[in-house]
Amino acid sequence: MPAFGEELTADQIDAVIGYLRRQCREPGYPRGELNLPRPLRTEKAFPESETVFTMAVAGRHAPDLDSELAYERRLTTRDQLEVAVPFASVHDEGGTRASGIGDVALGWKRVLLASHDTIVSGQGEIVVPSGDAARGLGSGVTTFGLFATVGQILPASSFVQFQLGTDQPVSTSEAPRTLFWRAAAGRSFRQDGGLGRMWTPMFEVVGDRDFVDGASSQIDVVPQFQVTLNRRQHVRVNVGLEIPATNTAGRAKQFVFYLLWDWFDGGLLEGWK
């Protein structure tokens, strides 16, 4: 449809949006504004219907590759099914490369609270030992995960997101229990009055700690930049650098990126013109 330019004031635009929202027959849907930009490591609280391909490349002479294809499908107003299939290409201690599928995860997300500017969700998942643990491609044990995520809208198109969770393997002799936390902050900048490309710089802090004697927290910082690739904004890329901040010995920096397709908003080739 043709653009109306400055035909409506800001108050009139808000009134139109309010009217359209009242037409929704199901009040359980969280506000679309709570669908914040996705960080590289922090899980979002908003339920989605999208596919995301993520890859991390460790900065070594013969780099290790760690990738994941995640399929997310919104099933109800507040529930989401997620399937994540990892693929890795890594070196063992002898320098031999091993490549293959890792441990596949199946998860269920539920929105617990959604207000005007805040969304809180919980997710449970099971990770099955589909990878070859002997070759460094999996843990070798079934693991149950549980985490909570929070998204908070701030003034000036800025936001923060948090995640806190734990991984509980069925056998701690194969893999340790872990506690993990994530935090991300960012701000979005839009072109053409919100109808063009959107740019979102973010900064993320990632922490993990094993429940074993003598273990210490492993913390990384991840500066990153997300940008929408098409006018409909449902195809996006995010690029960042994961930098070890603690326990740096033997841990290399990682170049991390993802390609996201929100297929609920249209086909992969739609919305580019």
Residue 231, SS3 per DSSP: coil
- Residue 251 inside a domain? The answer is yes
- Residue 44 inside a domain? The answer is yes
- Residue 1 inside a domain? The answer is no
- Residue 203 inside a domain? The answer is yes
Residue 55, SS3 per DSSP: strand
Closest-CA residue to 68 (of 82, 57, 52): 52
Residue labelled with tokens 């609280």? 45
> Structural domain tally of the chain?
1
pTM: 0.87
- Residue 215 inside a domain? The answer is yes
- Residue 128 inside a domain? The answer is yes
Per-residue pLDDT of the chain (273 residues; tens, 9 = 90+): 456 666 778 778 778 877 776 666 677 789 889 999 999 999 999 999 999 999 999 866 567 889 999 999 999 999 999 999 999 988 766 667 889 999 999 999 999 999 999 999 999 999 999 999 888 888 999 999 999 999 999 999 999 999 999 999 999 988 899 999 999 999 999 887 666 789 999 999 999 999 888 888 899 999 999 999 998 889 999 999 999 999 888 888 999 999 999 999 999 998 887
State how far the Cα of 245 lies from the Cα of 124, in Å rounded to an integer: 29
Tokens of 111: 């929105």
- Residue 192 inside a domain? The answer is yes
Read off φ and ψ for residue 46, nearest 5 degrees.
-80, 135
CATH code where residue 97 lies: 2.40.160.40
Q: What's the alpha-carbon Rg for the chain, to the nearest Å? A: 20
Give the domain extent around 46.
Answer: 10-265
Residue 106, SS3 per DSSP: strand
- Residue 272 inside a domain? The answer is no
